[in-house]
Amino acid sequence: MPTEVILPKVDMDMTAGTLSVWHVAEGDFVAKGAPLFDIETDKAAMEVESPASGHVHNMVAPGQSVAVGAPVAWIYAKDEPVTAPPASAARADGVGTAPSIVPPRPAAPQPAAPQEVHHDPRQRATPAARRLARETGVDLRHVAGSGPKGRVQRADIDNRAHGQPQHGAAQLPSGWSVQPGDLHLTRRAGRDTAPLFLIHGFAADSTGWAPLERALPKDQPLLRLDLPGHGKSPRRSLRSFAELARAVVAAFDASGADQVHLVGHSLGGALALALADIRPRKILSLTLIAPSGLGPEIDAPVLNGIARASRVESLLPWLRRLTADPDRLGEDYARAALRGRLDPQLRAAQLDLATALFPDDVQAFDLTAALRRVTARTAIIWGRADRIIPWRHALAARGDMALHLLPECGHIPHIDTPETVAGILARQMA
Amino acid sequence: MNAPAHPSRTLSYAEALREAMALALESDPNVVLMGEDIGVYGGAFQVTGDLIDRFGPDRVMDTPISELGGAGVAVGAALTGLRPIYEFQFSDFAALAMEQIVNQAAKMRFMLGGEASVPLVFRMPSGSGTGAAAQHSQSFEAWFGHVPGLKVVQPSTPYDAKGLLLAALADPDPVIIFEHKLLYKMKGDVPAGHYTIPIGKAEIRREGTDITIIAGAIMVHRALEAAETLAADGISAEVIDLRSVRPIDSATIIASVCKTGRALCVFEGVRTLGLGAEISALIAESDAFDYLEAPIMRLGGAEAPIPYNPDLERAAVPQVDGIERAVRKLVGGEV
């Protein structure tokens, strides 16, 4: 009798989840306890271990929503004949529909993550959103859904059809196109030790880590990621935090890194948290600098202002909001920051990303559950004078996590006071 | 509705029903009351009260403890020209009389090619909340609403109780009126004199813009209480009192959901295969579908007989806090 693999309940309110990627192919041998697949819920994403050793068959196709307790695959002993999937032994709660089963097929490598350009033609949308989309000629597949599980709500279509009045649509660059290719990752070699894996925040890029790098030991190996539509990474159409997190996990997997000390700032902090949730065994320590995802409040006009700015004069006032001491940031800094932002398509892509991630100026994703699950040593660094995300979101931390609440420091402690952050990282890596 | 020409007084729901019966007994010699202990005792819930003193035992008849027999006599009397009102002590006991209600009263007009009709009213005290346990607390509106040939109403106020009972009496076909036991003591303005409330017409009890709550009987009041709390948080709920289960006022429901884009059905009967399911389906099949901003949701009775333990009894049917939670979920985009 093969062992049934079910979709586990990983979150309290969870009734269904999306099986995002398999770590094995049909027929592969898997050892008990080895990573088997990743699931995503509307709140979290995580890796699921195999409940038994054997060969995996009758796997559910990735990308589809599966009810909690429904089977996603069966594990067969070595010489056990593989038949049609047995009737499910138990349904946990009778919720949802049984998943459709893909027929056995020759072993083929699974794509690490779905390509963002391939939209699911069956986009979730409320009936009201569909009607409005029909009437206004909006293609639902190009709308970021703000509802549960990425569902497009009527308001999402309203925003699309009428621009984003709350963000001042007048200066929007017109349109942008998706680019192919992998996310850009730069490496700094060093001594033979686990590298720091750095994920920057919204509208920044990996060059923003330079002050911190100067404060770190010269031989500390580094991996720096540019997020989609940021720095030297290709622009992608991302409709939700989950899609963005998927892209980051795929880039992490592709980096070949064995184990890393993970650092994320702001949006990168939320992504680091998601990555630590999905790849817990790969993360030796987790350092979150003013992370998003721990509460709804965020000063979205600043993010939009930075993303939109095309001149030093329009960028500098927003940049000054990032730091506790505005005089520290002069026109030179703004000019340098603007050099990486000259491409209008990059700015447009970032504005669209801001709309998907922060609809109505709210952080639309919640990673507090992931924070509770983290197994790696975790530190949260926050400036007490942060004007972008309230430092009190740090209080979502578990009691055994280190909080470093830096006085006279704004949203960018790694730039305001890189020595302090480097010191904390040294303790994290000890 | 016939506009009442008489001044209003404050009456209880039970008094309003009694007044309706007294008016009918006075104005129509064919009206008779039948039921167990409705005479000298005044009825299990004292709804008939002193009517026997005013109209005598020929018009207010105590029937033996046989619901099947009593209902059968009532059907026969209706077929031969009287207009009986038969009271069940508890709607649960209608199970004993199903043959007469479902197979005889509901069918007769159709099987006799319209040559005969059965103008009778079954009064059924229903619902939980009185500590009367599993066999005396059920809500059978959906059961009887499922039978063509019957009309089914469930008033939620003293005003409606009188108006719907008088409308039921005027109707040429069998009408079942579900009287919620927890409402009998509820007070409200009731005009003196004769007036009717049309069967098949729902009433919007509170106007709102964010969600439509469709409820019946005691659930109307729970929905209104929840709506009041929600209003303080900026959530505007429209509350529809269904009033009539068969025929159902789909037009009022659909128009409201087209306006609000969200629907929550709240009924006391068991949720599975219940009134909420029917209303959800009629919304989904209607023009309102294109206006939905969230799934249609149902609250209803639990998958269990009504328990005797008061805490469990309370938990077995929708309460104010549950309605509030469901609305917050629907309006807050959690579902």
pLDDT in tens, A171-203: 333 467 777 788 999 999 999 999 999 999 999
For residue A87, the model assigns a pLDDT of 57
* Res. B294 pLDDT band, cuts 50 70 90: very high
For the ranges A79-88, A365-374, B8-17, B297-306, which has the lowest average pLDDT?
A79-88
For residue A121, the model assigns a pLDDT of 56
> Domains in chain B, please, with CATH?
10-191 (3.40.50.970), 203-331 (3.40.50.920)
Q: Which residues of A touch B292 (CB under 8 A)?
A: 126-128
Helix (H) or strand (E) holding A197: strand A196-199
Rounded CA-CA distance A393/A376 in Å is 20
Partner residues linked to B11 by β-bridges? B188
Rounded CA-CA distance A10/A38 in Å is 11
CB contact under 8 A, A128 and B290: yes
Q: List CB contacts of B286: < 8 A, sequence separation 6 or more.
A: B250, B254, B257
Nearest CB to A154 within list B289, B293, B334? B293
Nearest CB to B335 within list A129, A131, A148? A148
- Cα-Cα-Cα-Cα dihedral of A303, A306, A307, A311, to 10°? 170
Rounded CA-CA distance A26/A4 in Å is 15
Tell me whether strands A260-265 and A196-199 are parallel, antiparallel or unpaired. Answer: parallel
Calculate how close chain A gets to B295, using CA atoms only, in Å. Answer: 8
Residue from B262, B271, B290 whose CB has the most chain A CBs within 10 Å, to mutate = B290
For residue A44, the model assigns a pLDDT of 63
> Domains in chain A, please, with CATH?
3-76 (2.40.50.100), 127-162 (4.10.320.10), 185-429 (3.40.50.1820)
Closest alpha carbon within chain B to A125: B293
Are B152 and B185 in contact by the 8 Å Cβ rule? The answer is no
For residue A359, the model assigns a pLDDT of 87
Calculate how close chain B gets to A9, using CA atoms only, in Å. Answer: 18
- Cis amide linkage into residue A121, ω under 30° from 0: no
Calculate how close chain B gets to A151, using CA atoms only, in Å. Answer: 10
Helix (H) or strand (E) holding B153: strand B151-153
CB contact under 8 A, A148 and B292: no
CB contact under 8 A, B292 and A153: no
CB atoms within 10 A of CB A257: 18
Judged against a pLDDT cut of 60, whether residue B15 lies above it is answered with yes
For residue A276, the model assigns a pLDDT of 95
Residue B136 annotated among the catalytic residues of the structure: yes
Are A387 and A288 in contact by the 8 Å Cβ rule? The answer is no
Q: Which residues of A touch B335 (CB under 8 A)?
A: 148
Are A381 and A422 in contact by the 8 Å Cβ rule? The answer is no
Nearest CB to B333 within list A127, A131, A148? A148
CB contact under 8 A, A131 and B291: yes
Q: Which residues of B touch A128 (CB under 8 A)?
A: 261, 290-293
For residue B269, the model assigns a pLDDT of 98
CB contact under 8 A, A127 and B290: yes
CA dist B113 → B104, B107, B110, B121, B125 (Å): 14, 10, 5, 22, 33
Report helix, strand or coil for A57: strand
What is the share, in percent, of chain B residues with pLDDT greater than 70? 99
Rounded CA-CA distance B300/B272 in Å is 8
Compute CA B27 distance to the chain's CA centroid, rounded to the nearest angstrom.
25
**Catalytic residue of the set B19, B36, B67, B87:** B67
Tell me, what's the ipTM?
0.78
CB contact under 8 A, B334 and A148: yes
Rounded CA-CA distance A118/A64 in Å is 14
Rg (CA), chain A: 22
Q: Which residues of A touch B291 (CB under 8 A)?
A: 127-128, 131
Partner residues linked to A16 by β-bridges? A67
Rounded CA-CA distance A142/A157 in Å is 10
For residue A43, the model assigns a pLDDT of 61
For residue A89, the model assigns a pLDDT of 45
Beta carbon pairs, A and B, within 8 Å: 25
Taking Cα atoms as reference points, which of B50, B59, B60, B61 lies closest to residue B18? B50
* Res. B211 pLDDT band, cuts 50 70 90: very high
Helix (H) or strand (E) holding B203: strand B203-206
CB contact under 8 A, B333 and A147: yes
Instruction: Scan for tokens 């497009």, then name that residue.
Output: A152
CB atoms within 10 A of CB A3: 17
CB contact under 8 A, A127 and B294: no
For residue A109, the model assigns a pLDDT of 40
Over the stretch B221-278, which tens digit does the pLDDT of each residue have? Answer: 999 999 999 999 899 999 999 999 999 999 999 999 999 999 999 999 999 999 999 9
Q: Both tokens of residue A288? A: 């979150």
Nearest CB to A131 within list B290, B333, B334? B290
Phi and psi dihedrals of A210, rounded to 5?
-55, -45
Residue from B211, B291, B331 whose CB has the most chain A CBs within 10 Å, to mutate = B291
For the ranges A405-409, B59-63, B100-104, B148-152, which has the lowest average pLDDT?
A405-409
CB contact under 8 A, B291 and A130: no
CB contact under 8 A, B333 and A154: no
Over the stretch B116-128, which tens digit does the pLDDT of each residue have? Answer: 999 999 999 999 9
**Catalytic residue of the set B19, B136, B141, B238:** B136
Over the stretch B139-183, which tens digit does the pLDDT of each residue have? Answer: 999 999 999 999 999 999 999 999 999 999 999 999 999 999 999
Rounded CA-CA distance A153/A173 in Å is 25
Which segments in chain A show pLDDT lower than 50? 89-119, 164-174
For residue A162, the model assigns a pLDDT of 62
Length of chain B: 335
